[in-house]
Amino acid sequence: MFKAIGRIFRTPDLRRKIAFTLGIVALFRLGSFIPAPFVDFANVQSCLASNQGTSGLYELVNLFSGGALLQLSIFALGIMPYITASIITQLLRVVIPHFETLYKEGQAGQARLTQYTRYLTLALGVLQSTTLITVARSGALFPQNSSPACTQLITNDAWYAILLIVITMTAGTGLIMWMGELITERGVGNGMSLLIFTSIAATFPASLWSIAVTQSFELFLLVIAIGLLIVAAVVFVEQSQRRIPVQYAKRMVGRRTYGGNNTYIPIKVNMAGVVPVIFASSLLYLPALVAQFNQPAAGQEPQAWVTWINNYLVQGDHPLYMALYFLLIVGFTYFYVAITFNPEEVADNMKKYGGFIPGIRAGRPTAEYLDYVLTRVTLPGSIYLGLIALIPLIAFVWIGANQNFPFGGASILIIVGVGLETVKQIDSQLQQRHYEGLLR
């Protein structure tokens, strides 16, 4: 292992790529601590220090921004607008035929789709930054902290000041998007994924140490042990796949023979990745968001439906919230897999190039067989996603460490997934130059 790591730094091209990636990551983290214009940095830090827990409305965005959201920094929105825009663009392929046509056109069409994603990212940046500033001005950014400083986070309420903050945060989102694309082109790994990885990993040390400080050191060691077991389980499932054998018939083209080889179609247990968890979290946040903007004035009783939402759909430790969260993840997993993997398209491509599954006729029977296998493989994958997502909520019930328990939900799925893909890319580049990779 150490010899392989030494070969990485002795390879000039690979060394430059890794150094470039680390440099961009360092700039990204630096921007997470630079406050936006007209933000009272002292009040923000005071509220962060005395805050007893982040509202569920902001947990996901704050996670993907590496804590920059609650600091109201220039990178407060993080990579979340780009993630949302990418998911929307992918889903629109089903609704808008033009998007599906562009996707099938190859590199030129996908470049157009990428451009649409960028425009949508900036539009979402404007929307989300406006919402964030509105919440910060109302004092609801730290709902569990009643300190007067938490209602005075913005030093200037004039329209030009608000406009400047919106422009700054939106520009920060565009800069993050550009940084991610630079890493993809000149660095190692997928740039956007690595920036998300960095944001989440940056919160791990503080979260773990907070458990040791607020609970006990024995509980800290127990959480570390549980975390290692969860990481091992996630790695095992993420690498698991159902391989469907495919054979290609021999074809004579002139004097040459093509085909005749055997391969397989890999169907992963978790084909949907972390997207269903993001979908379910966002959908469950909507009722709480509506209830928050319908809070009664001082001295008035809240409406019955607002009280019901606050009691059942805001607190993550409630059994109804957990059940809905789990069922939404299972449903969104099937929905997203059905969109991203088209058995009929795969069957048509196999038939076009003379491929077939042994024992299955080409064409429609192949599509039905693929759909049959996909449906059954997705079931354990969706249950696995639901259980992983519930780990922080269960931790909150058992040890009261929801905010400080990093080994679960979207965080651990992204950390493990991005880590595996990046190591594989480094391994493949080492094999190209030394015929011996990083992995054994």
Residue 427 and residue 407: Cα distance in Å, rounded? 26
Amino acid at 173: T
* Among candidate residues 31, 422, 415, the one with its CA nearest the CA of residue 207: 415
Do the domains spanning 1-203 and 216-400 agree at the CATH topology level?
yes
Residue found under tokens 């480094």: 426
| Residue ranges of domains in the chain | 1-203, 216-400
* pLDDT in 10s for each residue of the chain, 440 residues: 566 667 777 777 888 888 999 999 999 999 888 888 988 888 887 877 766 444 455 666 677 777 777 788 899 888 888 888 888 888 888 788 888 888 888 788 888 888 999 999 999 999 989 988 888 887 777 766 667 777 778 888 888 999 999 999 999 999 999 999 999 888 888 888 888 888 888 878 877 787 777 777 887 888 888 888 888 888 899 888 899 888 877 665 666 666 567 888 889 998 888 888 888 877 877 777 777 666 666 566 777 777 777 777 766 667 888 888 899 999 999 988 988 888 888 888 888 877 888 888 888 889 999 999 999 999 999 999 988 888 877 776 666 555 556 666 778 888 888 888 888 888 777 777 665 656 55
- b/e 363-397 (16+ beta carbons within 10 angstroms → b): eeebbebbbebbeebbeebbebbbebbbbbbbbbe
C-alpha gyration radius of the chain: 24
**Residue 256 β-bridge partners:** 253
CA angle 281, 284, 285 (to 5 degrees): 85
May I ask the CATH architecture of the domain 1-203?
Orthogonal Bundle (1.10)
Residue 23 and residue 8: Cα distance in Å, rounded? 17
For 425, the 3-state DSSP assignment is: helix
The contacts found for 388-392 with CB under 8 angstroms, 24 or more apart, are 388/230, 388/234, 388/277, 388/412, 388/413, 389/277, 389/280, 389/325, 389/326, 389/329, 390/322, 390/325, 390/326, 391/230, 392/316
pTM of the predicted model over 0.75: yes
Assigned CATH class of 216-400: mainly alpha
* Among candidate residues 153, 161, 140, the one with its CA nearest the CA of residue 40: 153
Phi and psi angles of residue 257, each rounded to the nearest 5 degrees, phi first: -110, 125
DSSP 88-129: HHHHHHHH-HHHHHHHHT-HHHHHHHHHHHHHHHHHHHHHHH
**Residue 264 β-bridge partners:** 245
